[in-house]
Amino acid sequence: MNEGHTWGGGAALSPWDTVMWRLEEDPHTRSTSVIVEVLDRVPDWDRLVQAHIRGSFQVPRMRERVVEPPLPLVTPAWSADPNFDVDHHLYRIGLPEPGTFEQLGEVVADVLQRPLDRTRPPWEAVLVTGLEGGKAAYLFKSHHSFADGMALMQMLELLHSRTSAPGTRQVPPAPKRPKVNGYTLLAGRLVGRAMGTPGALLRSAPKLPGKVFVNPFTTTSQIVGYARSLGRQVAPTVERSPLLKGKGGLGIRVLLFEVSLDDLRSAGRAAGGSINDAYLAAVVGGLRRYHEHRGHVVPQIPISIPVSTRRPGDPLGGNQFTGVRLVAPLGETDPEQRIILLREQVRAARSEAALDWLAVASRVLDKLPVAALAEIAFAGTSTADAQLSNFPGVGWEAYVAGAKVLGIYPVGPRPGVAMMAALASYEGKACLGFNVDPDVFPDIDLLHRCLLEGFDEVFTLTSSATDTSEKAP
């Protein structure tokens, strides 16, 4: 079985995917991300083109675009693009000398800011040549409705090669994919609802009395518990930092670097936590140092993190996550205590009854006009100072058209927050990508130093840690 044929799920966008897709029209709430892969050399262009053509057959979702109904009464659907052409999605650019990683970050920022063509499949790929040391970079940009970070890593594992030699793998023919337009989508869904509603009501009617009246205390307590949990999820936790608050600027600065994954794991274990706990503590420590350099003393800031809702047996691809809010102990100087405090909050958040609140709320939000939807979404995301994400990368040595992948750096969207930080693991490295607001962080070099110091501070928890002060991709 070719897993790529089912990657991404069914034809219908979920309500949550629909919300993210429709928010693309407002630059403040745009949810486009870029995966940056640093390569040991420049891959052969013709081979790279053929790899994308073959990959688009292996993962048919790459050949599908989003079709909107003429009225927002039903969710959009994925439909085969009758005019699909790899040339519309793949291009190359060259860096001027000296080809530094700072220059690469500027290119990533430009690519990230440019809106995708909403009439085509929502992805594009860029080969960046001229990187110092004869290296190159491969950028894969996609809309969040296409996939979340973990799903993108699944796709890379499907499409990347394990050797530098040209592959001989044959792609099995894909099953016929659905093709719709806005009007057939709307008519078909409405007819389906009309035919399915009576039966659904009859099937559910006998269950209602027993569920509501036999044990009303249990039902009421569950409702109250969910409501309280929802309040903890969506209500502002603490005041935003006056330094990071900003005004939701649209500019983008990108910062890429890496640290040792083993050191991060060891530091987390030393404090009774995980890689993720140590990562959160390190970034928070870096932000504390940045505040100190700028003359601000802030004890706590609100941050948010995504939590995967994937379960064993779930189909590959798509979006299966929810967001939770944490109170980052910015004033805590002890890295061990900072890890403990963050770990306790993450564990508590994962057990919340309203952990699924994004999926539940999107069933209502996806019916709203785009302007109202954008206003609500921006108001919700702008209650945090930073978003921090972490997911496993490709689990083996990967190649792109014969060039070896040296590092995989995720750069996520930044809706209404000053910073989006993301970590992907690859070959013993924790590869970090930061999307920051230049109006809030005017000195990107200072931020870089502070973040490295934040990781070094966490690494003091393990004697085998290596100094990160000179680390670069």
Q: 267-270: which pairs have CB atoms within 8 A and are 24 or more residues apart? A: 267/335, 267/339, 267/458, 267/459, 267/461, 267/462, 267/465, 268/339, 269/462, 270/336, 270/461, 270/462
- What is d(CA 251, CA 412) in angstroms, rounded to the nearest whole number? 14
> Which DSSP state fits 87?
G
Q: How many CB atoms lie within 10 A of CB 85?
A: 12
Q: Among all residues, which ones are annotated catalytic?
A: 144
> Would you say 126 and 111 are in contact if contact means Cβ atoms under 8 Å apart?
yes
3-state DSSP assignment of residue 320 = coil
3-state DSSP assignment of residue 377 = helix
- What is d(CA 77, CA 185) in angstroms, rounded to the nearest whole number? 8
Closest CA to 11 of 82, 83, 84, 67: 67
Sheet strands side by side (includes 90-94)? 90-94, 123-131, 135-143, 32-39, 403-411, 399-400
Q: Name the maximum alpha-carbon separation found in the chain.
A: 75
Q: What are 389's strand-pairing partners?
A: 422
Helix (H) or strand (E) holding 328: strand 321-328
Closest CA to 330 of 382, 380, 386: 386
